[in-house]
């Protein structure tokens, strides 16, 4: 199967959290800066986020109540040619189709403009697909009841020419790709701060709807100290 090279690039606290109070600590700031700068190290054409992460700062809230209709909208994938030509993408994992969009381009400070690709399953309604088309948001259908990560990667490569993809959480999305052996490298920036929170998300988390899977091992390829006591760890998936 032809698919992109996939790197999971994450910032975590010493106790493995990827969100929570530690983000606001001044001692996290150097690690946070390094994490942002290191994104460019991998030269990825696309970054993939889970639904919760998208709601937290990328999507325009949740989609409004949609009228019945759109039955004539095919479940076939939709590629916005203009967005495709942009060559830079944010892939939004949204299995049932709940995210709201005012447009099809996301512009974040310090990052190039990115075209939105929604990663749906067959659970997303025809009305939601029509909603995306009206806004020029591309979408891919991959899976019936839950996301088929391998199929999604194949389609991202075939339809959009994506050769390198960054997976950046949350924990359930990260684990979904990892348990299928679809992460080629783990890039982990560790902030020298412990969170201690019990309601924070970890780097990898298995949802109840995912099948059981044995622990996954990695091989360390690089460990590099960073400013402010942070650490950059690079791992390959152990063969």
Q: What is the pTM of this model?
A: 0.93
d(CA 107, CA 98): 21
Length of the chain: 239
- Annotation: CATH topology of 46-162: Dihydrofolate Reductase, subunit A (3.40.430)
Percent of the chain past pLDDT 70, that is, above it, reads 97
pLDDT at 13 over 90: yes
Q: Give the CATH number of domain 1-43+168-239; options: 3.30.9.10, 3.40.430.10, 3.30.1380.10, 3.30.465.10.
A: 3.40.430.10
Return the CA Rg of the chain.
Answer: 18
Tens digit of each residue's pLDDT (9 = 90 or more) over 19-67: 889 999 999 999 999 999 999 999 999 999 999 999 998 999 999 998 7
Residue-range domain boundaries for the chain: 1-43+168-239, 46-162
Q: How far apart are CA 70 and CA 76, in angstroms?
A: 13
205 close to 53: Cβ distance less than 8 angstroms:
no
pLDDT at 73: 66
Residue 188 and residue 201: Cα distance in Å, rounded? 15
- Are 58 and 90 within 8 A, CB to CB? yes
Percentage of the residues of the chain whose pLDDT score is greater than 90: 79
Q: Which two tokens stand for residue 158?
A: 């075939």
pLDDT at 67: 79
What is the pLDDT confidence band of residue 201, given thresholds at 50, 70 and 90?
A: confident
Pair 76, 126: CB distance under 8 Å: no
pLDDT attached to residue 70: 58
Closest residue by Cα to residue 162 from 53, 70, 71, 84: 84
Indicate the Cα dihedral angle 75, 173, 159, 139, nearest 10°: 40
Intrachain domains 1-43+168-239 and 46-162 with the same fold: yes
pLDDT per position as a tens digit, 95-150 = 999 999 999 999 988 889 999 999 999 999 999 999 999 999 999 999 998 899 99
Scanning the chain, the segments in alpha helix (DSSP H) are 29-38, 51-57, 81-86, 126-134, 149-160, 171-178
């Amino acid at each position: 199967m032809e698919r992109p090279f996939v790197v999971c690039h994450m910032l975590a606290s010493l106790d493995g959290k990827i969100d929570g109070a530690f983000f606001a600590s001044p001692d996290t700031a150097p690690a946070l800066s390094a994490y942002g700068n290191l994104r460019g190290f991998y030269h990825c054409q696309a970054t993939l986020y889970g639904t919760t992460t998208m709601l937290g700062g990328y999507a325009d809230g949740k989609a409004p109540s949609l009228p019945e209709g759109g039955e004539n909208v095919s479940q076939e994938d939709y590629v916005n040619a203009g967005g495709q030509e942009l060559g830079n993408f944010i892939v939004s994992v949204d299995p049932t189709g709940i995210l709201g969009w005012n447009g099809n381009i996301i512009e974040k400070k310090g990052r190039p403009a990115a075209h939105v690709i929604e990663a749906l399953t067959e659970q997303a309604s025809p009305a939601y697909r029509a909603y995306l088309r009206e806004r020029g948001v591309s979408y891919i259908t991959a899976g019936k009841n839950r996301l088929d990560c391998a199929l999604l990667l194949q389609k991202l490569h075939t339809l959009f020419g994506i050769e390198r993809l960054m997976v950046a959480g949350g924990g359930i999305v990260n684990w979904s790709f990892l348990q299928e052996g679809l992460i080629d490298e783990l890039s982990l920036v560790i902030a020298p701060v412990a969170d201690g929170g019990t309601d924070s998300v970890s780097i990898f988390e298995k949802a109840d709807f995912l099948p059981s899977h044995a622990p996954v091992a990695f091989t360390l390829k690089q460990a590099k100290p960073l400013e402010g006591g942070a650490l950059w760890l690079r791992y390959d998936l152990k063969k």
